[in-house]
Amino acid sequence: MQFFDLHSHMLCGVDDGAKTSEEMFAMLEMAYEDGIRAVCLTPHYSPYLFGDTSETSARSFEVLKEYVAKKHPDMRLFIGHELGYHHSGLDALNEGKCRSIAGGRYVLVDFPESVEFFEIQSAMDQLQRAGYFVILAHTERYRCLFNHFGWIEQFVEEGGVIQINASSVNGDWGRGAAKQWKKLVKKGLAHIISTDAHNLTSRKPLMSVCMPFLQKHCDARTIRALTWDNACRVVRDEMI
Protein backbone atom coordinates (compact mmCIF):
# COMPACT_ATOMS: atom_id res chain seq x y z
CA MET A 1 0.00 0.00 0.00
CA GLN A 2 1.41 3.39 -0.95
CA PHE A 3 0.22 6.68 0.51
CA PHE A 4 0.24 10.34 -0.53
CA ASP A 5 0.60 12.79 2.36
CA LEU A 6 -0.76 16.14 1.18
CA HIS A 7 -0.39 18.01 4.49
CA SER A 8 2.96 17.97 6.28
CA HIS A 9 5.14 20.23 8.42
CA MET A 10 8.32 18.26 7.78
CA LEU A 11 10.33 21.21 6.45
CA CYS A 12 12.72 22.32 9.17
CA GLY A 13 13.27 25.70 10.76
CA VAL A 14 10.11 27.21 9.28
CA ASP A 15 7.18 26.88 11.70
CA ASP A 16 6.22 24.58 14.59
CA GLY A 17 7.17 21.51 12.54
CA ALA A 18 10.64 19.92 12.34
CA LYS A 19 13.27 21.96 14.17
CA THR A 20 16.47 20.68 12.57
CA SER A 21 17.50 18.99 9.33
CA GLU A 22 18.18 15.81 11.35
CA GLU A 23 14.59 15.80 12.56
CA MET A 24 13.33 16.51 9.02
CA PHE A 25 15.32 13.59 7.58
CA ALA A 26 14.15 11.29 10.41
CA MET A 27 10.53 12.28 9.70
CA LEU A 28 11.05 11.53 6.03
CA GLU A 29 12.43 8.10 6.93
CA MET A 30 9.48 7.40 9.24
CA ALA A 31 7.06 8.38 6.46
CA TYR A 32 8.89 6.22 3.91
CA GLU A 33 8.83 3.25 6.28
CA ASP A 34 5.06 3.73 6.66
CA GLY A 35 4.55 3.45 2.89
CA ILE A 36 4.33 7.17 2.07
CA ARG A 37 5.68 7.71 -1.44
CA ALA A 38 4.55 11.27 -2.13
CA VAL A 39 4.51 14.27 0.21
CA CYS A 40 3.34 17.83 -0.25
CA LEU A 41 5.19 20.04 2.20
CA THR A 42 2.72 22.57 3.61
CA PRO A 43 4.41 24.91 6.12
CA HIS A 44 2.08 27.35 7.87
CA TYR A 45 1.48 30.68 6.18
CA SER A 46 0.38 32.53 9.32
CA PRO A 47 2.47 35.72 9.36
CA TYR A 48 1.23 36.71 12.84
CA LEU A 49 2.59 33.47 14.29
CA PHE A 50 5.60 32.53 12.16
CA GLY A 51 6.44 35.55 9.99
CA ASP A 52 6.72 35.19 6.22
CA THR A 53 7.71 31.54 5.67
CA SER A 54 8.15 31.75 1.87
CA GLU A 55 11.94 31.95 1.73
CA THR A 56 12.81 29.76 4.72
CA SER A 57 10.55 27.00 3.42
CA ALA A 58 11.95 27.24 -0.12
CA ARG A 59 15.49 26.77 1.26
CA SER A 60 14.47 23.86 3.46
CA PHE A 61 12.63 22.25 0.53
CA GLU A 62 15.84 22.28 -1.53
CA VAL A 63 17.69 20.50 1.28
CA LEU A 64 14.98 17.83 1.57
CA LYS A 65 14.83 17.33 -2.21
CA GLU A 66 18.57 16.70 -2.30
CA TYR A 67 18.30 14.15 0.53
CA VAL A 68 15.39 12.34 -1.14
CA ALA A 69 17.10 12.25 -4.55
CA LYS A 70 20.04 10.42 -2.96
CA LYS A 71 18.20 8.13 -0.51
CA HIS A 72 14.73 7.50 -1.94
CA PRO A 73 14.45 8.39 -5.63
CA ASP A 74 10.96 6.80 -5.75
CA MET A 75 9.62 9.41 -3.28
CA ARG A 76 7.88 12.40 -4.90
CA LEU A 77 7.89 15.83 -3.24
CA PHE A 78 5.69 18.87 -3.82
CA ILE A 79 5.40 22.17 -2.02
CA GLY A 80 2.57 24.48 -0.96
CA HIS A 81 1.49 26.32 2.16
CA GLU A 82 -1.21 25.90 4.79
CA LEU A 83 -2.92 29.28 4.85
CA GLY A 84 -3.93 30.23 8.38
CA TYR A 85 -6.92 32.25 7.29
CA HIS A 86 -6.74 35.98 8.11
CA HIS A 87 -8.12 39.17 6.55
CA SER A 88 -5.24 39.57 4.07
CA GLY A 89 -5.01 35.85 3.22
CA LEU A 90 -6.43 36.31 -0.27
CA ASP A 91 -3.95 39.12 -1.02
CA ALA A 92 -1.08 36.89 0.14
CA LEU A 93 -2.26 34.19 -2.30
CA ASN A 94 -2.76 36.58 -5.19
CA GLU A 95 0.65 38.15 -4.59
CA GLY A 96 2.28 34.71 -4.50
CA LYS A 97 3.58 35.07 -0.94
CA CYS A 98 1.37 32.21 0.20
CA ARG A 99 1.68 29.20 -2.12
CA SER A 100 -1.19 27.19 -3.48
CA ILE A 101 -0.65 23.42 -3.61
CA ALA A 102 2.03 22.62 -6.21
CA GLY A 103 1.36 25.94 -7.96
CA GLY A 104 -2.20 25.02 -9.03
CA ARG A 105 -5.64 26.30 -8.05
CA TYR A 106 -6.01 24.27 -4.84
CA VAL A 107 -5.38 26.05 -1.54
CA LEU A 108 -5.07 24.37 1.88
CA VAL A 109 -6.76 26.56 4.49
CA ASP A 110 -6.94 26.24 8.24
CA PHE A 111 -8.55 28.13 11.11
CA PRO A 112 -8.00 28.32 14.87
CA GLU A 113 -9.84 25.68 16.92
CA SER A 114 -12.11 28.36 18.37
CA VAL A 115 -13.29 29.65 14.97
CA GLU A 116 -16.96 30.56 14.62
CA PHE A 117 -19.02 28.90 11.91
CA PHE A 118 -19.71 32.15 10.03
CA GLU A 119 -15.95 32.87 9.77
CA ILE A 120 -15.32 29.58 7.96
CA GLN A 121 -18.34 30.12 5.78
CA SER A 122 -17.40 33.65 4.67
CA ALA A 123 -13.71 32.79 4.16
CA MET A 124 -14.55 29.79 1.98
CA ASP A 125 -16.99 31.92 -0.05
CA GLN A 126 -14.36 34.62 -0.57
CA LEU A 127 -11.67 32.18 -1.76
CA GLN A 128 -14.05 30.25 -4.02
CA ARG A 129 -15.31 33.47 -5.61
CA ALA A 130 -11.68 34.40 -6.31
CA GLY A 131 -11.33 31.16 -8.32
CA TYR A 132 -9.47 28.95 -5.85
CA PHE A 133 -10.38 25.34 -5.07
CA VAL A 134 -10.46 25.30 -1.30
CA ILE A 135 -9.22 22.37 0.79
CA LEU A 136 -10.46 22.70 4.36
CA ALA A 137 -7.61 21.40 6.55
CA HIS A 138 -8.41 18.86 9.31
CA THR A 139 -12.14 19.44 8.97
CA GLU A 140 -12.89 17.02 11.82
CA ARG A 141 -11.31 19.35 14.39
CA TYR A 142 -13.63 22.39 14.16
CA ARG A 143 -16.15 22.18 16.97
CA CYS A 144 -18.36 24.78 15.29
CA LEU A 145 -18.95 22.34 12.42
CA PHE A 146 -20.14 19.50 14.67
CA ASN A 147 -23.62 21.07 14.53
CA HIS A 148 -23.38 22.40 10.98
CA PHE A 149 -23.01 19.18 9.05
CA GLY A 150 -25.41 20.50 6.43
CA TRP A 151 -22.94 23.25 5.57
CA ILE A 152 -20.18 20.66 4.99
CA GLU A 153 -22.48 18.82 2.58
CA GLN A 154 -23.22 22.07 0.75
CA PHE A 155 -19.52 23.05 0.71
CA VAL A 156 -18.64 19.71 -0.91
CA GLU A 157 -21.47 20.05 -3.43
CA GLU A 158 -20.04 23.43 -4.45
CA GLY A 159 -16.60 21.92 -5.05
CA GLY A 160 -15.05 22.28 -1.58
CA VAL A 161 -12.49 19.64 -0.61
CA ILE A 162 -12.46 17.99 2.82
CA GLN A 163 -9.09 16.97 4.29
CA ILE A 164 -8.93 15.00 7.53
CA ASN A 165 -5.95 13.95 9.66
CA ALA A 166 -5.10 10.25 9.78
CA SER A 167 -4.52 10.10 13.54
CA SER A 168 -7.78 11.85 14.53
CA VAL A 169 -9.74 8.64 14.01
CA ASN A 170 -7.95 7.20 17.03
CA GLY A 171 -8.90 10.09 19.33
CA ASP A 172 -5.70 12.18 19.07
CA TRP A 173 -7.84 15.34 18.84
CA GLY A 174 -10.55 14.22 21.25
CA ARG A 175 -13.69 12.12 21.02
CA GLY A 176 -15.71 14.76 19.18
CA ALA A 177 -13.13 14.97 16.38
CA ALA A 178 -12.91 11.16 16.14
CA LYS A 179 -16.70 10.94 15.84
CA GLN A 180 -16.78 13.67 13.19
CA TRP A 181 -13.93 11.96 11.26
CA LYS A 182 -15.85 8.68 11.11
CA LYS A 183 -19.06 10.43 10.08
CA LEU A 184 -17.27 12.31 7.26
CA VAL A 185 -15.78 9.07 5.91
CA LYS A 186 -18.94 6.97 6.26
CA LYS A 187 -21.07 9.62 4.51
CA GLY A 188 -18.53 9.85 1.67
CA LEU A 189 -17.79 13.54 2.33
CA ALA A 190 -14.06 13.23 3.09
CA HIS A 191 -11.75 13.50 0.08
CA ILE A 192 -8.19 13.38 1.39
CA ILE A 193 -6.53 11.84 4.44
CA SER A 194 -3.13 13.30 5.39
CA THR A 195 -0.84 13.24 8.42
CA ASP A 196 -0.41 16.97 9.27
CA ALA A 197 2.83 15.69 10.81
CA HIS A 198 4.86 18.09 12.96
CA ASN A 199 7.45 15.88 14.69
CA LEU A 200 8.56 12.34 15.54
CA THR A 201 6.62 11.96 18.77
CA SER A 202 3.22 13.56 19.28
CA ARG A 203 2.35 14.29 15.63
CA LYS A 204 4.04 11.65 13.50
CA PRO A 205 4.14 11.30 9.69
CA LEU A 206 2.05 8.11 9.68
CA MET A 207 -0.87 7.32 7.37
CA SER A 208 -1.27 3.64 8.30
CA VAL A 209 -2.79 4.47 11.70
CA CYS A 210 -6.22 4.96 10.08
CA MET A 211 -6.12 1.80 7.96
CA PRO A 212 -7.92 -0.50 10.44
CA PHE A 213 -11.00 1.78 10.34
CA LEU A 214 -10.84 2.24 6.56
CA GLN A 215 -10.48 -1.47 5.88
CA LYS A 216 -13.51 -2.20 8.04
CA HIS A 217 -15.79 0.46 6.56
CA CYS A 218 -14.65 1.30 3.00
CA ASP A 219 -14.08 -0.56 -0.25
CA ALA A 220 -10.62 -0.69 -1.85
CA ARG A 221 -11.44 2.01 -4.40
CA THR A 222 -12.52 4.48 -1.70
CA ILE A 223 -9.43 3.76 0.39
CA ARG A 224 -7.23 4.44 -2.62
CA ALA A 225 -9.09 7.67 -3.39
CA LEU A 226 -8.69 8.91 0.19
CA THR A 227 -5.03 7.99 0.58
CA TRP A 228 -3.59 8.45 -2.92
CA ASP A 229 -5.76 9.22 -5.97
CA ASN A 230 -7.43 12.46 -4.84
CA ALA A 231 -4.14 13.96 -3.66
CA CYS A 232 -2.64 13.10 -7.08
CA ARG A 233 -5.51 15.00 -8.73
CA VAL A 234 -4.81 18.02 -6.53
CA VAL A 235 -1.12 18.27 -7.45
CA ARG A 236 -2.04 17.78 -11.13
CA ASP A 237 -4.60 20.60 -10.72
CA GLU A 238 -7.41 18.30 -11.86
CA MET A 239 -10.95 18.15 -10.51
CA ILE A 240 -11.57 15.56 -7.80
Binding site for Fe ion (CB under 5 A): 82, 196
How far, in Å, are 61, 110, 156, 214, 226 from residue 55 at the CA level?
A: 10, 21, 33, 38, 31
Please check whether residue 34 is in contact with residue 77, taking contact to mean a CB–CB distance below 8 angstroms. Answer: no
**Looking at beta carbons only, is 51 or 212 nearer to Fe ion?**
51
Nearer to Fe ion, 187 or 199 (CB): 199
Q: Minimum Å distance from CB 64 to Fe ion? A: 17
Minimum gap (Å) between residue 196 Cβ and Fe ion: 4
Q: Nearest approach, Cβ of 44 to Fe ion (angstroms)? A: 7
* Least Cβ distance, residue 80 to Fe ion (angstroms): 11
Assess contact for 229 and 2: CB atoms under 8 A: no
Sign of the C-alpha dihedral computed for residues 89, 140, 11 and 105 taken in this order: negative
Closest residue to Fe ion, judged by C-beta, is 196
Q: Least CB distance from residue 8 to Fe ion, whole Å? A: 8
Instruction: Measure the CA–CA gap between 240 and 149, rounded to whole angstroms.
Output: 21
Quick check: helix, strand or coil at residue 37?
A: strand
Residue 220 Cβ vs Fe ion, minimum distance, rounded to whole Å: 28
Pair 205, 5: CB distance under 8 Å? yes
Minimum CB distance to Fe ion smaller for 123 or for 222 = 123
Q: Contact, 134 vs 161, CB < 8 A?
A: yes
Nearer to Fe ion, 24 or 186 (CB): 24
Q: For Fe ion, which is the closer residue by CB, 82 or 140? A: 82
d(CA 128, CA 134): 7
- Contact between 231 and 38 under an 8 Å Cβ cutoff? The reply is yes
* Cβ nearer to Fe ion, comparing 34 with 82: 82
